Structure 1
Amino acid sequence: MSRADPAGTAPRPRPLWALGLLRSELAMTFRRWRTLALLAVLAGVPVLIGVAVKIETGDGRPLGGGPEGGGPAFIAQITNNGLFLVFTALAATLPFFLPMAVGVVAGDAVAGEASAGTLRYLLVAPAGRTRLLLTKYLATVAFCGVATLVVTVSALLTGAILFPLGDVVTISGTHIGFGEGLGRALLIALTVAASLTGIAALGLFVSTLTDSGIAAMATTVGLLITVQILDQIPQLHAVQPYFFSHHWLSFADLMRDPVYWDDLVRNLGLQALYAAVFGSAAWARFTAKDITA
């Protein structure tokens, strides 16, 4: 113990304190019943898809009931290889279920603390507004990864139980081994998780604009739905490539041989841009905000 600190009350090193703050935020996020309910719903989607496909093809009919089968390419392949349930489940949850769950968590990040009356007390601790906001965003990004992983693992287990596993036929028509196919599935899951970082930053920005957690969550989900609708209007084709959701389904290009990287790179670059712009806007708003709750 140094002479300058006879009582042993020296502040903890900031990096260690910041890690403790992040651990605390992660524990709080994943202990909430709302978060667990969202993850449970996401885990149930692949099960429902798998059971529906199994029932539909149980009598030997091709999927869709037509002579040659129907439905998207991923769905048509599930009966031949359960690994395709992973791709189908991610394609089914990415347009709405996954981003909605992320929007709920991000929207509640700051506004939820304000509405509960705990935000002011968090800022009394030596966290500082910038570090607290960064911790909130990192916790939301962690939720993006966990939510995507839940869908992936649920789909993989369901596919292994209900359907055979084996070599994978790519969209290009070539064959790859099961190990490589599983590796691509994990890479797709990482891409999907990264695709959610843009809306995570947008939700965090919205969360700094209000002291109502419910309002922030509703606004973020409303923006998600609005952008999805606008992305389907042909007259807006000039601006659609700049919508955060426009390139989300580009992860399918990872199932081509060779892989098409152009749209994948555009998607990840766009998410980084949204994270930078709305993350900066959230910081500017939060650092200048008068905290009364």
Structure 2
Amino acid sequence: MDTTTRPGGTRSAPGAARRTRTFALLGSELALVFRRRRTWAMLGALALVPVLIAVAVRLTTDGDDGGPAFLGDITNNGLFVSFTALTVSIPLFLPLTVGVVAGDTVAGEASHGTLRYLLVAPTGRVRFIVVKTIGAVAFCLAATLLVVLVGAAIGAALFPVGPVTLLSGTQVDGWSYAGRAVLLALYVTLSMLGLVAIGLFASTLTNVPVGAMAATVVLAGASQVLDQLPQLDWLHPFLFSHLWLGFGDLLRDPISFDSFGSNAVLQLGYLVVFGALAYGRFASKDVLS
């Protein structure tokens, strides 16, 4: 077996060296994503969504009548702020922030002139694409968990907290609902995988990050518009946004993972197809910057 010699006389297999480089690259990518002021600004904007919802409901509803029907769950139980904030964020705010992060993956490195040096490291183009994808998915998970945690905190501060009535009519305690809230966050993160893959592919087509970001966000909006047209009902099951709001099964007793599984198959399909397209484009791309 071929080995490489480390300083001090010890020897290591090339596979171990490759794994070390991969983890180093992944750590560098995660640090890059979460050190940016833009990332913190987007996370801060997402955190404001549950805060604004909770404050608006608190100021505009009367505790005696529970306010408008669609806000009754929040006024009766502050834990529902998390669920409401996720529901509000999915159509616009999350796709917008995810589009920015995914669209910047490759084009951002090219625009800053660091792409060539990363590939010379040696990094390898497959490893580069995989690490960039993981970095974007990590942002999705952080964003959704942040919305859930901030929603729970502000809801508990402004409204009563107690047993939660699920869509099936049964009640669960706060800890059981917290577990379901984590599942909701995982569902929403999973829902963004297709958009991440599309953004990654768009990012390989240009050296201008803003162009890739805009294309990704526009496609997210277009998919949702097409999903609302009854004339295209044959197309709906294939749209990556079709099951974004299909997490109702997670709020039933017992929990059903049917929608979770269907959404996973749909998003992983987009991830495989557009991930392959991104690699195909990137593998044949002349990296000059």
TM-score, with normalisation over the residues of structure 1?
Answer: 0.92
Name the residue aligned to 2:38: 34
1:202-213 mapped onto 2 (5 Å cutoff): 202-213=198-209
Please give the alpha-carbon distance, in whole angstroms, between the structure 2 residues aligned to 1:198 and 1:178.
32
Please give the alpha-carbon distance, in whole angstroms, between the structure 1 residues aligned to 2:7 and 2:171.
68
Gaps of 5+ in 1: 65-69
Q: Of 162, 168, 173, which residue of structure 2 is paired with 1:172?
A: 168
Name the residue aligned to 1:67: none
Partner letter of residue 247 of structure 1?
A: L
1:214-243 CA-partner distances (Å, limit 9, x unpaired): 101011111111111111111111101111
State the shift of 1:6 in Å: 8.7
Q: Of 14, 17, 22, which residue of structure 2 is paired with 1:13?
A: 17
The answer as to 2:51 corresponding to 1:47 is: yes
1:210-289 mapped onto 2 (5 Å cutoff): 210-289=206-285
Q: Which moved more, 1:50-59 or 1:159-168?
A: 50-59
State the shift of 1:5 in Å: 4.6
Q: Of 142, 148, 164, which residue of structure 2 is paired with 1:152?
A: 148
Q: SS of the counterpart of 2:153?
A: helix
Gaps of 5+ in 2: none
Partner letter of residue 274 of structure 1?
A: Y
The answer as to 2:127 corresponding to 1:128 is: no
Partner letter of residue 23 of structure 2?
A: L
Partner letter of residue 265 of structure 1?
A: G
Please give the alpha-carbon distance, in whole angstroms, between the structure 2 residues aligned to 1:14 and 1:59.
60
Partner letter of residue 169 of structure 1?
A: T
Partner letter of residue 139 of structure 1?
A: G
Please give the alpha-carbon distance, in whole angstroms, between the structure 1 residues aligned to 2:168 and 2:104.
42
The answer as to 2:84 corresponding to 1:88 is: yes
Name the residue aligned to 2:60: 56
Partner letter of residue 21 of structure 1?
A: L
TM-score, with normalisation over the residues of structure 2?
Answer: 0.93
Q: SS of the counterpart of 2:245?
A: helix
1:164-196 CA-partner distances (Å, limit 9, x unpaired): 111110111111122111111111111111111
Partner letter of residue 22 of structure 1?
A: L
Please give the alpha-carbon distance, in whole angstroms, between the structure 1 residues aligned to 2:6 and 2:277.
43
Q: Which moved more, 1:189-198 or 1:40-49?
A: 189-198
Q: Which moved more, 1:36-45 or 1:185-194?
A: 185-194
Please give the alpha-carbon distance, in whole angstroms, between the structure 1 residues aligned to 2:206 and 2:42.
23
Partner letter of residue 87 of structure 1?
A: F
Partner letter of residue 228 of structure 2?
A: Q
| Percentage of matched positions with identical amino acids | 50
Q: Which moved more, 1:75-84 or 1:206-215?
A: 75-84
State the shift of 1:7 in Å: 6.5
Q: Of 275, 285, 292, which residue of structure 1 is paired with 2:288?
A: 292
Please give the alpha-carbon distance, in whole angstroms, between the structure 2 residues aligned to 1:94 and 1:52.
19
Please give the alpha-carbon distance, in whole angstroms, between the structure 2 residues aligned to 1:261 and 1:36.
32
Counting matched residue pairs gives: 283
